[in-house]
Structure 1
Amino acid sequence: MKKKFILAGILAILIITGFSQNDSSKIIKAKNPLSFQKGKSEFVISGFFRLRAEMQQNYNAKIYGTETTESFLLSRIRLNMEYRYANCLKVFAEIQDARVAGSSFSDKDFQYKNNPFHDPFDINKLYFSYKPFDSVEIIIGRQALNIENRRVFGLIES
């Protein structure tokens, strides 16, 4: 029953995504799904949910190179909150919950319980931005560092 559920999930995701292997795919976000404005201030709440099925043949995270097949479903929920004031001040926070279903390993199988697929709660991004001029922006906090749309180091966006 468990394998049928995983295979059905994999098939549904492949059909929905059109067999896409492009890592640079854009996530479609609703335009200001929940926005509150008063004067020069604006508060926006948004987020998204992602499911990804994986099937790895001749590999599993505990025992490398065996004849085993590892199949599991990854889920991720992100909630974004953003406060802007007069296009010069911004506070942004993004919290994330990531889980795995159908996996043969648990948190105990990893050193210090550092399971790469299970992250029940995390502050993914939290930063403050000040823009004194149109061409200058100062950002302080936890963020992804990108140069020309390429990640240098920091958070992995996928």
Structure 2
Amino acid sequence: MTVAEDSLPDWDERAAAAGIVIPEPLPSQPLFPGAVVDGSTAYTSGIVAVEGPPWKMVYAGSVGDDISVEDAQKSAALAMVCTLANLKGALGGSLNRLDRFVKLMGFVRCRADFMQAPNVINGASEVLLNIFGQDRLPARSAIGVAALPGGASVEIDAVVRLRS
């Protein structure tokens, strides 16, 4: 290991120190993997909040109607943890190839007049903040939508730059 590599943050250790338990990667779906690595960039497929195994969706429903903003923030946080699990699997079992999240897209199932989608996606951003720090937070979008897979309340996907 070079001096430069030795001085890089250990993301796995920082996640553990923050009390964030990253599970095994979720099983890939027949038509799309959880994450794809292309050179120095990783792209994640959209993911919702699931727990397991056996994997089951949690926090389903329309935010503001079926579930609270607070539970939707928990959904966003758990979806981010699942995203990290899929990235960890695609990167050989460690987060340490990650340099930074570049873009985070958050989709919130809600009514057309619901204006708190950014507050919901803060749940995902807080997970990233606790592991990677303020200077590595990504650009972000939070979009209200009428439906998500399986009736989920939140779905996220991300673009990540990898260390060279």
Q: Which has the larger radius of gyration?
A: 1
More strand by share: 1
Length-normalised TM-score, structure 1: 0.28
Length-normalised TM-score, structure 2: 0.27
